[in-house]
Amino acid sequence: MTQPLIAVSTDVRQFENYTWHATPQQYLEAVVAGAGALPVMVPSFGERLDLDALLSAVDGVMLTGSKTNVHPALYGGDSGEANGPYDEARDSTTLPLIRKAIERGVPLLAICRGIQELNVALGGTLASEIHEREGMLDHRAPVSDDQDERFAIRQKVTIKPGSCLAGVLGAGDIAVNSVHRQAAGRLAPKLQIEAVAEDGTVEAVSVKDARAFAVGVQWHPEYWVKSDSVSQKVFRAFGDAARQHAAARLAARAAAE
Q: Among residues 112, 117, 139, 203, which one is catalytic? A: 112
Helix (H, G, I), strand (E, B) or coil at 110: strand
Strands 155-159, 172-176: pairing is antiparallel
Active site residue 149: no
> Using CA atoms, how far apart are residues 250 and 16, in angstroms rounded to an integer?
42
Strands 202-207, 214-217: pairing is antiparallel
* Cβ-contact 202, 193 below 8 angstroms: yes
Active site residue 164: no
Q: Among residues 139, 203, 222, 245, which one is catalytic? A: 222
Q: Among residues 71, 180, 220, 245, which one is catalytic? A: 220
* Cβ-contact 5, 53 below 8 angstroms: no
Strand spans (E) along 72-148 = 108-111, 126-127
> Using CA atoms, how far apart are residues 236 and 34, in angstroms rounded to an integer?
6
Q: Which residues are catalytic?
A: 112, 220, 222
